[in-house]
Chain A
Amino acid sequence: MEYKISNRLKIGAIIMIVLGVLGVAYGFMDSHKYENVKDVETLLNNEASHGGGHVTEAHGVEAHDDSNAHAVDSHSQDAHGVEHVDEDHGMSHEEHVLHQIHNRPWSALYVAAFFFFMIALGVLAFYAVQYAAQAGWSPVLFRVMEGITSYVLPGGAIVLVIAFLADSHLFVWLTDGITDPDSDKYDALVAGKSGWLNKPWFFIRGLIFLAGWSTYRYFSRKFSVAQDNAELNDNRNFKKNFRISAAFLVFFIYTESMMSWDWIMSVDPHWFSTLFGWYLLAGMLVCGVTVIAMIAIYLKSKGLLEHVNDSHIHDLAKFMFGFSVFWTYLWFSQFMLIWYSNIPEEVTYFVTRIEDYNLPFFGMIAMNFIFPLLLLMNSDFKRVNWFVIMAGVVILCGHYIDIFNMIMPATVGDRWFIGIPEIGSILLFGGIFLWIVFTALGKYPLMAKRSPFIEESKHFHY
């Protein structure tokens, strides 16, 4: 089946990109209205006279709940303790707020860029698993997956470029003088980690990860397409793909883990968690499988994937369900271990999130766990296409908020909002994602003709 990106989709993607650029530009202009500490002082005074900005409001609301009062008190003391540590780096409260305001458009860009990149990377890992496991159901979806993974290289490059340009707006450990004992910004904890967290090494690692992933992507796509024109019983290209997939999975699990420390966890350089890499991986896989299902359903509705039947959608929905539960398991394991032991240096991570990000933090549990759990449990519902699409939309929004919750508390603190800079960034990278993915989908026939498992896959029935 031939597919060509339709004009409507092209125009839609362009409109998204243009609106996104406008939104992002507005975000930067808006944040730079506050050029110095003086402007922030007036802002803070205004907020105070309006009966409280974010901070006071959040505290006020929680204090109303009597049963919560004790816990909140002890928590907020912890949080303030941490804030004081920050402020001891020779920074006034106003300067702190100024930084947060300036960080916001950068963080918004970074969250959205990473979100779309991680979809592509999750699909790449899922695709490699399908080859390595010699799955019999999925070969009819290989071209859809290959289309989505075409975003790995540009998406990863975008993330690295934003990280490079944003510099200390995102990564506190890039602040000048933070490792210099004579500087008033000196931070002994960060200085102790500077063997790993330093600018050249960070980007060298990033480039190595990206090079490894996109090299695998390039060759697996090449072999997959070459297999189409192979002679009968000539499975050399498939075997090559099988081998490089197995090797890639080994490489991937190490690099993905390190990437999660570098690109996400290092925004909070005082904090660390050992299962963070897995946690991010689970989120990546959910989003990846969800997008595979959504694009497959879209192409099927255009009559382009005649061999994709309800059983394939059912299988994808099962993966969406299973990985959602797996994500929740890891989220909860991370949260509960830290909550239970309540060690101050670890628990501040969740204290700031529960205090300042209450709704997104707990809302995402509903979106990423309870919603898919109840909707996708029924086996009949998993075969209803619009149902899978609706569940997929909620899952994707939930995982955007998941990434949002990872980055924002470290960069903008309580000055967060999902407003024009955030939505603009989503539109911008969403548009680029759609453009690249659907262009790649149009390059080769949508059916991987000569895959050894293609007949089994065409007749897959559950």
Chain B
Amino acid sequence: MKVLVPIKRVIDYNVKARVKPDNSGVDLTNVKMAMNPFCEIAVEEAIRLKEAGTATEVVVVTIGAKASQEQLRTALALGADKAIHVETEQNLESIHIAKLLAKVVEQESPELVILGKQSIDSDNNQTGQMLAALTNRGQGTFASKVVIENDKVNVTREVDGGLQTVALNLPAIVTTDLRLNEPRYASLPNIMKAKRKPLEVIAADSLGVDLAPRIELVSVEEPAKRSGGIIVEDVAQLVEKLKTEAKVI
């Protein structure tokens, strides 16, 4: 079966985001960018399905500016077969991304789409669910285990209070949680090989999706700063402070 993996270029997860002084957004100039960590897990899962002989082809897709082709090449170096770049300079929202991805799903007809559960920049946690809705497929979100059996996929989900397993009819949509797998690194020869793998570019405007904004970003601010704390000498002083000063115990 064919597996489609949508990925996103985001700020590197180790970088602390800085708010622009004019409060118009987060400053991303000269900031290290990378593949969203949950997307790496999605790519890894697709490649493992291919190595297990379950998947026949792994297609990666990203939506964004030209620079995001870098992350597609990374995915190709990790083992994806083909990449699709839906190119746009516009900052899109989850609903737009889901609609564009639905077009790609229509074009590629994958039996399984694996996405990350959320991107670490907008922290929305929406796209996979929206894509499942728009393509009328079952969804297995926050997956920590994915098992394909005949025409079904069993997804073990990380839910509040424990784990829940659901069975989805294929074709289906899965979103990855952190513990699904440990992504591999790309080897140098594979990085070289990835440069020759096919990368199709589609203009986002050509897909017939209304990309008018649904959300206006009014401002972006720094979170309230915590006032500087103190270092206590020992446990006795700590307990004393918590009792008399902070009054929390």
Tell whether A and B belong to one assembly. no
